[in-house]
Chain A
Amino acid sequence: MDLTDELPKFTILLYGLVAFAAIVGGLLFLLDAVPTWFTRRREARLIAATAAGTATLPPPGSRRWRPNEKLFALFFLLPAMLMLSIGLIVPAIRTTLLSFRDARGETWVGLQNYGWMFSQDEIVDVLVNTFTWVVLVPLVATSMGLLYAVLVDRARFEAIAKSLIFMPMAISFVGASIIWKFVYAYRPEDADQIGLLNQIWVMFDGEPKQWLLNSPLNTLLLIVVMIWTQAGFAMVVLSAAIKAIPADIVEAARLDGVNPWQMFWRITLPSIRPALIVVVVTISIATLKVFDIVRTMTNGNFNTSVIANEMYQQAFTAGQVGQGSALAVFLFLLVIPIVIYQIRNLRKQQEV
């Protein structure tokens, strides 16, 4: 690599950093300067008023500079709002509009794209697959994480045992998919098996199989990959929550003579409920959006496609912008209830 060739990139990077520092610095400076200015003005007025002898403090609550303060808050919200609308709101509206238009986004077609979605057998399969994912992944990943967190809690090698489960989290979905592709790899009967699953299968006198070709087993095999990466996340969050259960509650329960079973259902589980909800919700959203695993392992072939993969396929590979957008909007609609549930839960916790 020739360093001088890369120089323009560094120059741009430098400009970016300087601009960033200038903007943030400027905002911080304003944040400091403007209230000071308001305060000074108020003080000056008070002093003037006192000096003039009409020393009546403004009645509390009728602070006249309040509208200014709101304007001021708006000013600081502006950059964030701008970014949000450019990056999120405008695309969301545009996508929704496109979902009612044709393949090139030129003429209105009404609900045709949505009709297409539910009338094509392949797309209905995609929806069923996505449903399978959303039901299985959060359920299994969270229960496995929880089980593991309870089992290793205060065990001898807790740190090591936890890092073993947590490790897959550090691998990207694409990386994990490539690893599991090798696990499911196929070689003919007379050759050495390089896939772990086929090797085990052959040891029990089975014929080597091409695991990823047969529906619906292949979808389940892909789900295993997602569970493998997500169980660690569930375990870490839930383990922290278990450790945060006040010791006096646990002790009181012990004194009352609970058995481990009762301990888990009556003490541990209710105490970590908020954390449990966060984990389930987070994994559910991640699962709805799953794309990399399917794309890398089967490319959506053999009846394994999910909404996000089909959306990309339609919009960007096949150039069917309308149909792709319709799938995106449908995915968006599926995520919304989960997000609302999560926000309401958070609010409830804050109120308590």
Chain B
Amino acid sequence: MSVFTRPRQALVITSALALAFSATACGSDDKKSNRADSPECAAYEQYQGHNGKRVSIFTSIRDVEADLLQDSWDQFVECTGIDIRYDGSGDFEDQLPVRVDGGNAPDIAFIPQPGLLTRFAEAGNLKAASADTKAMAEKNYSADWLKYGTVDGTFYGAPLGSNVKSFVWYSPKMFQEKGWKVPETWDELIQLSDQIAGVGMKPWCAGIESGGATGWPATDWIEDLMLRTQGPEVYDQWTTHDIPFNDSRVVEAVDRAGSILKNEKYVNGGYGGVKSIITTSFQEGGLPIVQDKCALHRQASFYANQWPEGTKVAEDGDIFAFYFPAVDPSKGKPVLGGGEFVVAFADRPEVQAVQTFLASSEHANSRAKLGNWVSANKGLDIANVQNPIDKLSVQILQDEGTVFRFDGSDLMPSAVGAGSFWKEMVAWLNGKSTQAALDAIENSWPK
């Protein structure tokens, strides 16, 4: 017996429900005009044969940068007919594990943290790169870079964009007026700092406040100095915890950073004393340079976007950067940086074709021409790179003497790399001793 005593009412409700759940999927079948035979498509010969296939890409790159990226593979899409579905999210690091665990993994993801890449590889989620992709990556990237896309001997993906962190920002105009010279060794850098301090200006300025990530710019300082005072081998042992975090060599590197960051004579130009570094936001950290209150600011290439509008960022302009000099030049030119890696969760041929294409110099050049782009791709023609600071970055990355190392906090477990390392550097600048801070970080390393 039915509970519905009024059948008509029941009918109305049922039909309303039916309407509610009948999702009409509006499938767009806008066929890309396949112009595979036209002359400009000759370069994409090896990627042909996947017309109409769909490849999804999930990344943390959004807005303008995402548009530029999509423009950069326009021609590839037109020539091969592969339908690339791009999706950028500000929540990428949290969303990707959720999507992978939920069986809804994207075909390709651009992962900026080698630590996260390793986690997916070890869990068996990632597909090893195809032979073509691997060959393309080996042709275009140095072993220093490829190692971060490799887990247990299996190669998973090539780098895409990169940034250089070993930069010191300065004002070429100010330097010219005062007769200062861009230092090329560590000793020259310290001499210059003393010279600037001698004329009554605090030479360095810094800011490490960054909301939930407060402290990260200080960890970059430490990483740069680990690389400079201890060399790349010890640096690798440090990031993998083969040497303890409170090892005497780490203490030495942190103290070396402290000789600038915790030196009341040197910091914090335009903002006050050492402790003002903690409360100054990283975006504002270098701005006193344009107000003539500070001369030097160590920060990555992406700081170029922070200068006030109308500031000319160029070697002959208002602001530019020089390479953060090595302590011992005989050990090569250590460069700290970051970048994202193109890894695949599917091994369909069209996915591998896109992965190979993104590792190619064609793509690097196509993207560079659109502006605001740095890549360690050896096939990237510097003439195609638009901004002076990007040019300098590419020059440094392509330099034969460069010893590249990835940002260490992105390699460490997040309990340290995104936790205690940040926090203890804040405490360190707030007066905690080097040894006490490093002991606390060592304690927090997950066992």
Q: Which residues of A contact B (CB under 8 A)?
A: 15, 18-19, 21-22, 25-26, 29-30, 33-34, 36-37, 103, 122, 186-189, 208, 210, 212-213, 295-296, 299-302, 313, 317-320
Contact = CB atoms under 8 A, between A and B. Distances in A.
A15 B17 CA distance: 9
Nearest to B19: A18
A36 B4 CA distance: 11
Nearest to A7: B26
B279 A210 contact: yes
Given A210-B279, A318-B418, 7 more contacts: A25-B16, A33-B5, A33-B6, A186-B276, A213-B275, A296-B211, A319-B413
B9 interface: yes
Contacts of B13: 22, 25-26, 29
Interface string B1-41: 00111100100010011011101000000000000000000
A213 B279 CA distance: 9
Interface residues on B, range: 35 or more
Contacts of A103: 415, 446
Nearest to A320: B415
B259 interface: no
Contact of A295 (B16, B19, B212, B426): B212
A64 B440 CA distance: 71
A317 B419 contact: yes
A188 B271 contact: yes
Contact of A213 (B9, B415, B418, B430): B430
Nearest to A189: B272
Contacts of A30: 3
B423 A19 contact: no
B359 to A, nearest CB: 30
Contacts of B418: 317-318
A17 B214 CA distance: 42
A55 B279 CA distance: 88
Contact of A317 (B9, B21, B414): B414
A47 to B, nearest CB: 18
A246 B215 CA distance: 58
B115 to A, nearest CB: 10
A318 B5 contact: no
Contact of A37 (B5, B17, B440, B446): B5
A16 B299 CA distance: 48
Interface of B: 3-6, 9, 13, 16-17, 19-21, 23, 211-212, 214-215, 270-273, 275-276, 278-279, 413-415, 418-420, 423, 426-427, 430, 440, 444, 446
B281 to A, nearest CB: 11
Q: Is the interface of A mostly helix, strand, loop or mixed?
A: helix
Contacts of A36: 5
Contact of A21 (B16, B21, B212): B16
Contact of B9 (A29, A212, A301, A302): A29
A18 B211 CA distance: 41
Contacts of A26: 13, 17
Contacts of A320: 415, 446
A210 B414 contact: no
A319 B212 contact: no
A295 B418 CA distance: 15
Contact of A301 (B23, B270, B423, B446): B423
Nearest to B447: A103
A19 B275 CA distance: 56
Nearest to B10: A29
A22 B3 contact: no
B214 A299 contact: yes
Contact of A19 (B3, B20, B272, B444): B20
19 contacts: A18-B20, A19-B21, A22-B16, A25-B16, A26-B13, A29-B13, A37-B5, A103-B446, A186-B279, A188-B270, A188-B272, A188-B276, A301-B423, A301-B430, A313-B419, A318-B444, A319-B413, A319-B415, A320-B446
Contacts of A122: 440
Nearest to A41: B1
Given A21-B16, A186-B272, A301-B426, A318 B414 contact: yes
Contacts of A19: 17, 20-21
Contact of B20 (A22, A208, A299): A22
A25 B9 CA distance: 10
Contacts of A210: 275-276, 278-279
B325 to A, nearest CB: 29
Nearest to A215: B430
B23 A15 contact: yes
Given A186-B279, A188-B272, A15 B21 contact: yes
A141 B446 CA distance: 41
B419 A301 contact: no
B20 A301 contact: no
B419 A299 contact: no
Nearest to B9: A29
A279 B275 CA distance: 40
A45 to B, nearest CB: 15
Contacts of B279: 186, 210, 212-213
Contacts of B23: 15
Nearest to A19: B20
A159 B4 CA distance: 54
Contacts of A188: 270-273, 276
B165 to A, nearest CB: 21
A318 B20 CA distance: 42
A30 B9 CA distance: 11
B137 to A, nearest CB: 29
B212 A187 contact: no
B3 A33 contact: yes
A15 B25 CA distance: 13
Contacts of B5: 33, 36-37
Contacts of A295: 212
A21 B15 CA distance: 13
B19 A318 contact: no
Which 8 pairs from chain A and chain B are nearest by CB? A188-B272, A318-B415, A318-B419, A18-B20, A19-B20, A319-B414, A22-B16, A22-B17
A319 B412 CA distance: 12
A15 B19 CA distance: 8
A317 B409 CA distance: 13
A106 B291 CA distance: 54
Nearest to B446: A103
A18 B9 contact: no
Contacts of A302: 426-427, 430
Contacts of A33: 3-6
Contacts of B214: 299, 301
Given A19-B17, A187-B272, A301-B426, A213 B278 contact: yes
A121 B31 CA distance: 63
A300 B21 CA distance: 46
